[in-house]
Chain A
């Protein structure tokens, strides 16, 4: 989009403050003017830069004067502080001035949400303030599957929160069937005209989730949003999105469901957490899904301070495999000397002999690549993957097809990957990168399918850590809880 360059006086004139807008409406709304449906689709619940809209600036300004849209300053100065109205960043080190060619002044911009298009003092953000789009989809759920009694219980709680607002944490072990538990609640919300977002930190999860949701709700418009998505101008009652794209929304959703709250980058990025808060309507419902909540949340759940449902068992009614700890000595030293530590070697050769597939997790790419030839010595088909590997997808696919006996990996495969019958080892489990939640997720790769509900998970370590112990305790507690509730048969 190319805008004609304008002089500054004209520009400042055109951003009407809220009071002025009220006056315009007060003078009598011109009802011969109808709503621009296209603009409404673009802007409902969204907060966008002029540059993100395919309409001429003059047109948007006219719509603002008519009261259909409202504009806000991109960045507001409050005393010595700044606040970015898109990402709510207030960290001074993430603001910087630059000589701006648009406003011809030193203009402060936000570095926190820069990757979504630069917001600066002279770039206004526009929202829709006209009549909202209303909808209702009764009986929208076409899913034929059934829920287990414990899934049913969780589903009830979700419906309740969607009905009455508030927040809920759904703490369900890996493989509990979280998505299915949402369906009833979503159907309920859609019937009552509630706009629903399912947000997740990872774009690949968005892509995986979208067809499942579309299949369950075939008559409801569903859009999926991620960087470069084709749906970014569309309105839909049901939105599946990355947590980053939530930055473009403002008070949009009655129901905000955040999947894998503990996953990177959401858990580490305050900006994304603020974005989720901003994208939700004030009295809306907030639902978190996770298999591994952070420590503080766990405590709040257990002490009853946080509204939560715990699902301690997998839908296939088998217990979760518990990790074994195995001291392996200075494994880095051993690899440097060109050998695999004895205990790991024994474990590894046993899988090879049995012909059972396995993941071996490493804390760092560098060590994994050094170890790879040592493993390949026993079976040349062994491969290694990491996040920057261009053949990442192909290798995982080859593993899935059974053409790779053992796959060395970094934490990229810690979640989301379901392969029926595998064992898992973690080398260097004492590393900082293996947090409690990472270890629980890794252990969760084992015994996923009802045909092969068991498997071996071993943490090879050079000194036990708190995270390892907490991870094991968490899984033990889940199994105990499940047994008490009669959710597993063993």
Chain B
């Protein structure tokens, strides 16, 4: 019996045919959203990685490493303003060509259901760690209207979390077009709308991708200033 026969892959529309195993049955792995072929193209971050930002370090030349952390993180941590602001970033997948396409389809084309693909992984992270607040990185109002949904919030919701929107964006320009220097030296991008809620809490920030880490650090900075105890972040891809 092939109970998954009707399921079609979210990306290639091909049929999903999976072996049904007892392990899968008892662990309730639930539905599959991708066919095996597409899933293979997703590359999990494994092996040696930066203990701070999850950047894969196996193939990284030695000059970009500083002991257990990558050179980017070393630069961030060197500056007093940013030291320890973002305690840790967990990223799930390598930002390869396939992931780039997937994220583009998800957030720019607005294919909301794709958030489900990562639900199980995100749940896994949450089972291993405890947080008081789950906070998605917000979009500006214009961008939110244009896209119809906030991709970070979608990821959290589809993973069964209850995200709280306590950040708002002051600046509205797109990040993707800026250089690292421009991003780091931005004036404040976020503000905390309800500081009382943050006091003494451990916060998990959610976003789709970690590129330079500037967005997440700016968000973590205002949260810490508002009194958050610890701030970590979770992104599906590490650019």
Q: Taking A2-B142, A5-B141, A93-B8 as contacts, is the C-beta distance between A111 and B148 under 8 angstroms?
A: no
Task: List, in ascending order, chain A residues with CB within 8 A of B112's CB.
Answer: 96, 98, 109
Q: How far is the CB of B223 from chain A (nearest CB, A)?
A: 23
Contact, CB under 8 Å: B111 / A114? yes
The 8 A CB mask of B157-193 against A (1 = contact, 0 = none) is 1000000000000000000000000000000000000
Task: List, in ascending order, chain A residues with CB within 8 A of B109's CB.
Answer: 114-115, 117-118
Contact, CB under 8 Å: B148 / A100? yes
Answer yes or no: B145 CB below 8 A from chain A CBs: yes
In the docked arrangement, what's the CA distance between A115 and B13, Å?
A: 14
Task: List, in ascending order, chain A residues with CB within 8 A of B157's CB.
Answer: 99
| CB-based nearest A residue for B8 | A93
Interface residues of A in 296-310 (CB under 8 A from B): none
Q: Taking A3-B145, A93-B8, A101-B145 as contacts, is the C-beta distance between A118 and B110 under 8 angstroms?
A: yes
| CB-based nearest B residue for A103 | B148
Q: How far is the CB of B233 from chain A (nearest CB, A)?
A: 23
| CB-based nearest A residue for B110 | A118
Interface residues of A in 81-103 (CB under 8 A from B): 93, 96, 98-102
Answer yes or no: B149 CB below 8 A from chain A CBs: yes
| CB-based nearest B residue for A123 | B148
Task: List, in ascending order, chain A residues with CB within 8 A of B145's CB.
Answer: 2-3, 5, 101-102
Answer yes or no: A437 CB below 8 A from chain B CBs: no
| CB-based nearest A residue for B116 | A96
| CB-based nearest B residue for A6 | B145
Contact, CB under 8 Å: A96 / B8? no
Q: How far is the CB of B124 from chain A (nearest CB, A)?
A: 24
Task: List, in ascending order, chain A residues with CB within 8 A of B91's CB.
Answer: none
B149's contact among A1, A99, A111, A115, by CB below 8 Å, is which?
A99
Interface residues of B in 133-166 (CB under 8 A from A): 141-142, 144-150, 154, 157
Q: Taking A3-B145, A5-B145, A102-B145 as contacts, is the C-beta distance between A114 and B110 under 8 angstroms?
A: yes
Q: How far is the CB of B169 from chain A (nearest CB, A)?
A: 14
The 8 A CB mask of B88-111 against A (1 = contact, 0 = none) is 000000000000000001000111
A-B contacts, CB under 8 A, total: 49
Most chain B beta-carbon neighbours within 10 Å: one of A5, A101, A102 = A101
Task: List, in ascending order, chain B residues with CB within 8 A of A242's CB.
Answer: none
Q: Taking A93-B8, A111-B111, A115-B109 as contacts, is the C-beta distance between A98 and B149 under 8 angstroms?
A: yes
Q: How far is the CB of B112 from chain A (nearest CB, A)?
A: 4
Q: How far is the CB of A197 from chain B (nearest CB, A)?
A: 26
Answer yes or no: B125 CB below 8 A from chain A CBs: no
| CB-based nearest B residue for A116 | B109
Task: List, in ascending order, chain B residues with CB within 8 A of A109's CB.
Answer: 110, 112
Answer yes or no: A120 CB below 8 A from chain B CBs: yes
Contact, CB under 8 Å: B148 / A102? yes
| CB-based nearest A residue for B111 | A114
In the docked arrangement, what's the CA distance between A115 and B11, Å?
A: 12
Contact, CB under 8 Å: A120 / B111? no
| CB-based nearest A residue for B115 | A98
| CB-based nearest A residue for B157 | A99
* B interface, CB within 8 angstroms of A: 6, 8, 105, 109-113, 141-142, 144-150, 154, 157
The contact sample of 24 A-B pairs, CB cut-off 8 A, is A2-B145, A2-B146, A5-B144, A93-B6, A96-B112, A96-B113, A98-B112, A98-B113, A98-B154, A99-B149, A99-B157, A100-B149, A101-B144, A101-B145, A101-B147, A101-B148, A107-B148, A111-B111, A114-B105, A114-B110, A114-B111, A115-B109, A118-B111, A118-B148
Q: Which 8 A-B pairs have the closest CB atoms?
A: A98-B112, A118-B110, A2-B142, A96-B113, A101-B144, A5-B145, A100-B148, A101-B148
* A interface, CB within 8 angstroms of B: 1-3, 5, 51, 93, 96, 98-102, 107, 109, 111, 114-115, 117-118, 120
Known A98-B148, A111-B113, A118-B111; 14 more pairs at CB < 8 Å: A2-B146, A3-B145, A5-B145, A51-B146, A93-B6, A96-B112, A96-B113, A99-B149, A101-B145, A109-B110, A118-B109, A118-B110, A118-B148, A120-B148
